[in-house]
Amino acid sequence: MVFMPPFGPSGPQMPPSPPAPPFGGQGAGGVQPPTAPPPQSPPPQPLASALAVDPGAIVGCLYRNTYIWPTFGPGFWFYPIFVGRTSVSGFRWTGRMWVFSGFDLNRVSSFSCF
């Protein structure tokens, strides 16, 4: 095994900068939140028919205003940018601004996107 000292031809060199954090700034991995607020009123709630939301169903809502009805608590506007096997992440509307958040799909009762 060969160890290389942190010196180059012209003397000491600084180590490379670490990569930017994935959720740096207002965006997530370089994705910015929507520039406009969501609609003022929520859509009618669809009937919930499963114990958890299928990732394949909500993937069609990527980069679209989506209203989420959680299993517990009030509904909210969401702008999904990533759908995983069991979770979704994106921007949640606080009533004043978009903030990055994520949650488990098994905590979603139903959703509707536009």
Residue with tokens 């949640």: 92
What are the angstrom distances between the C-alpha of 47 and each of 22, 60, 78, 114?
35, 18, 19, 17
Q: Please give the CATH topology (third level) of the domain spanning 50-114.
A: SH3 type barrels. (2.30.30)
Q: Supply the pLDDT for residue 48.
A: 60
Q: Supply the pLDDT for residue 87.
A: 95
Q: Supply the pLDDT for residue 22.
A: 43
Q: Supply the pLDDT for residue 49.
A: 59
Q: Which 8-state DSSP code applies to residue 31?
A: B
Ranges under pLDDT 50 in the chain? 1-8, 11-27
